[in-house]
Structure 1
């Protein structure tokens, strides 16, 4: 499986909570409720660990605003 990198386009986030429900080990919220990738402070520079791939994909697919970004190389 290829490497997956992620970060949240915070300007698109509507703070719905779905990403944190689906992937709590990856996504968390700022003090104002905007999601971010907690693995690397939303830099998109660290790969998603293999054991969290399914959680990530569930969050990625359910995001209503497509704020969760995905790439095969660092952002």
Structure 2
């Protein structure tokens, strides 16, 4: 099953746990807030995350203290 992700930036506290758990998927933007960078997604939630990265994606979700990572089976926008 395909998985799509994005970060609710208003809820992010910029702790960096997602980018530590899944550096190929997440990074901090110029303001220090997390965003999905995978395949140039630019936090739109429209790029399916590769199957081999799904464990890292789940680790990022589990490590996020604010729960601001959205996950869906269809594109988010």
Q: CA RMSD in A?
A: 0.6
**Cα deviation, residue 46, structure 1:** 0.6
Residue in 2 aligned with 1:10? 9
The whole-number CA distance in structure 2 between the counterparts of 1:73 and 1:25 is 20
Segments of structure 2 that go 5 or more residues without pairing to the other structure are: none
Segments of structure 1 that go 5 or more residues without pairing to the other structure are: none
The whole-number CA distance in structure 2 between the counterparts of 1:20 and 1:28 is 5
The whole-number CA distance in structure 2 between the counterparts of 1:20 and 1:69 is 15
TM-score for the superposition, normalised by structure 1: 0.96
